[in-house]
Amino acid sequence: MKGKVYLVGGGPGDPELLTLKATKILARANIVLHDALVSREVLALAAAGAELIDVGKRCGRKLLTQEEINALLVSYATSHEVVVRLKGGDPLLFGRAGEEITALREAGVEFEIVPGITAAFGAAAAAGFSLTDRRVASQVLFTTIQRDTDNRSIQWGGISSTTTLVLYMPGTDYARVMEQLRDAGWPDDMPCAIVSHASGKDQEIRSTVLAKLGDEATLPAPAIMVVGRVVAEVAEEISREFRIGPEIAGRTSHPMVI
């Protein structure tokens, strides 16, 4: 094998939140296979002559299957020195990196994993709360909302009112999310925050409570939903700034665009 594959975390959107190592690797890249939701600002850091290949999803439809992506990584490693698989957030969290790692190992391709700031941390930082505030939270759960409930279900046994629940890819049907959480025993007054495009120029933040979650307009992907008492401390501030608008809030663009 001629080259090496780097599984790189592209962070939540702001290019300044990339690790120094990720920035250096992008600057040397020959090929960059990137997810659809990696920001343009991050892609702009790739080497001037690098070939950028979008292998992400569009409106729920995949441009390539995971098997095809795996095959491309192996193939490009035979002819290029620096092959980057660029993923939003961190590659090891809901990024299907495990399947790519297996394919690279089986093919004898050298690889390296470069962690990134996952969307949950970007969202919490943007909204201004701690995911594990010890006054109200004893644990945090990163998961995705379950759409195939017959075969995959969240194990709720270890979850309590002191759990901070972080939902990746909450989808567009917030009412369904609300019903699943209510059916699992979460109280109607549990605070919720929804953060879209965390850390990016199009960032939006909203807050509500579980009973009203189904009434919220859907925010554009990528979005993160945080459910838990940690949201309560900033919920009023988020709601107020979103309601009164950018001029009064002292902002220069869309309400809650930071």
35 is annotated as an active-site residue: yes
Half-sphere exposure of 214 (CA within 13 A, CB side): 10
Backbone dihedral angles phi then psi of residue 29, each to the nearest 5 degrees: -70, 140
Cα 35 to Cα 42, 80, 84, 85, 104, distances in angstroms: 11, 20, 11, 8, 18
Verify whether residue 14 is a known catalytic residue: no
Tell me whether residue 58 is exposed, middle or buried, using C-beta atoms within 10 angstroms of its C-beta: 0 to 12, 13 to 18, 19 or more: exposed
How many Cβ atoms sit within 10 Å of the Cβ of residue 30?
17
Catalytic residue among 4, 21, 54, 57: 57
Q: Which one from 35, 87, 150, 188 is the annotated catalytic residue?
A: 35
The residue length of the chain stands at 258
Rounded to an integer, what distance in angstroms lies between the CA atom of residue 101 and that of residue 107? 10
Q: Is 243 exposed, middle or buried (0-12, 13-18, 19+ CB in 10 A)?
A: exposed
Residues classed as catalytic = 35, 57
